[in-house]
């Protein structure tokens, strides 16, 4: 862990591609040195069926969900959310300036008793 899932309204697809938000968030998470490298997964997908605000063609959203393993101290979780949100905000600054975009990033901890994992990635 973590898994960084980026959902965005499909009307942003052409605008987001050159900004490479998934790569930048992945690198920011990796640079913190608090996550196992092979546990880090970042993915993004356009949401084709959506409504935003007044439902104009220009309004858009980006929702980033970060799931991490439980047990990290509050101070570290705050550092993680601040670092990742700052990365997203800086990456998207010009886009948010150009058009109405809602940006949200939330960190949640998964429940170990209700989570199963398998695979062959080393150290994941």
How confident is the model over 22-36, as a mean pLDDT?
96
Q: pLDDT at position 120, please?
A: 78
This prediction's pTM: 0.90
Most distant CA atoms of the chain, gap in Å: 47
Is domain 3-113 given the CATH code 3.40.50.300 in the classification? Answer: no
**Confidence at residue 124, expressed as pLDDT on a 0 to 100 scale:** 53
- pLDDT-based confidence at residue 123 (cuts at 50, 70, 90): low
| Model confidence pLDDT, tens digit, residues 56-105 | 888 999 999 999 999 999 999 999 999 999 999 999 999 999 999 999 99
Among 47, 123, 60, 109, CA closest to 81:
109
Exposure string of 46-59, with b = 16+ CB inside 10 Å and e = fewer, is: eeeeeebeeeeeeb
Domain ranges, ordered by start, for the chain = 3-113
- Give residue 9's pLDDT: 96
Residue 124 vs residue 38, higher pLDDT: 38
What pLDDT is stored for residue 114 in this prediction? 63
Q: Which residues, other chains included, contact 72 with Cβ-Cβ below 8 Å and sequence gap of 6+?
A: 34, 80, 109
Q: What is the average per-residue pLDDT within 14-18?
A: 93
């Amino acid at each position: 862990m973590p898994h960084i899932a980026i959902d965005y309204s499909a009307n942003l697809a052409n605008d987001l591609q050159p900004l490479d938000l998934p790569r930048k968030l992945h690198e920011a998470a990796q640079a913190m040195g608090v996550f196992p490298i092979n546990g880090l997964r970042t993915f993004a997908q356009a949401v084709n069926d959506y409504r935003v605000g007044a439902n104009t063609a220009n309004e858009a959203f980006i929702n980033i969900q970060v799931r991490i393993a439980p047990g990290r101290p509050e101070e570290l979780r705050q550092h993680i959310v601040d670092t990742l949100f700052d990365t997203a905000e800086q990456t998207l600054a010009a886009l948010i300036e150009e058009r109405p975009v809602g940006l949200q990033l939330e960190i949640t901890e998964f429940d170990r008793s209700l989570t199963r994992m398998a695979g062959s990635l080393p150290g994941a």
